[in-house]
Chain A
Amino acid sequence: MRITLVSIHVEDQDRALAFYRDVLGFVPKVDIPMGKFRWLTVVTPDRPEGPELVLEPNAHPAARAYQDALLRDGIPMNSFEVDDVDAEHRRLRERGVEFTRPPSDAGPVRIAVFADTCGNLIQIHARRPAG
């Protein structure tokens, strides 16, 4: 058994692709039309065979309620690993991304949290050097 798909609910798949590809820098992997939605996934640029992030429509009312509640309470839906949280924060801020939590230390990691324009908060984290 292997984990190869991870999904995140999004309000609008076109907007999601624009953000996850054009702003964050992930690479589209699968894009198959499915009725009024798409089976849409992106991967890490230098790991095309790594886990795929499924940009999944939040068509079910319970998915929307779940997203609403976490967003409202400031809780991130997922966390992506980066090399340098402060550098990513600068890069994304310049691209108009809204952060709800600026770079800050949290135990063994440094983190920051931003809005993904699709109804979620996303955290980025980098391990802090030991010692």
Chain B
Amino acid sequence: MTAGSREETWRRLCDLRIRLRDRCEEALPLGTLADELAVSGSRFLRRFRAVFGATPHALQSEARMARACALLRQSTLPVTEVCFEVGYRSLGSFSTAFSRRMGCSPRTFRARAGSEGPDSPHDCFARMG
């Protein structure tokens, strides 16, 4: 393998991670990607996990939940629409996944959202004094 293609493989791995985060509502493109990179699926998953700390599926779910939280907090979209917006096809599987991660239902989360703390620890610097 040439240095050029090694760099290209690395970039594609990074691009997949970015895509799972920024276009989390899309279906996982894993088979295609492992094929493109000409590695076996399990080898690809092992490397992805070593670089990013979790499986593509776990990182996609994480991104979907983060986006769902933002939509529940900042928009008035009905919960069903939030569910579709972040890529789930059924409200049941969305609610189950959401409750498992956030410890409450999407509806309860939205109701409590008013009492949220700072969004960034940059705000924490200000509070340290």
Contact = CB atoms under 8 A, between A and B. Distances in A.
Interface of A: 11-12, 15, 18-19, 32-39, 54, 56-57, 59-60, 64, 68, 71-72, 74, 96-98, 100, 115, 117-119
Nearest to A37: B121
Interface residues of B, number: 26
A72 B118 contact: no
B7 interface: yes
Interface string B4-20: 00010011001101100
Nearest to B118: A35
Contacts, number: 68
Contact of A98 (B21, B50, B124): B50
B53 interface: yes
Contacts of A37: 117-121, 124
Contact of A34 (B17, B53, B121): B121
Contact of B127 (A15, A34, A38, A96): A34
Given A39-B121, A97-B50, 17 more contacts: A12-B53, A18-B53, A33-B117, A34-B121, A35-B119, A37-B118, A37-B120, A39-B128, A57-B120, A59-B120, A68-B18, A71-B14, A74-B7, A74-B10, A98-B50, A115-B50, A119-B52
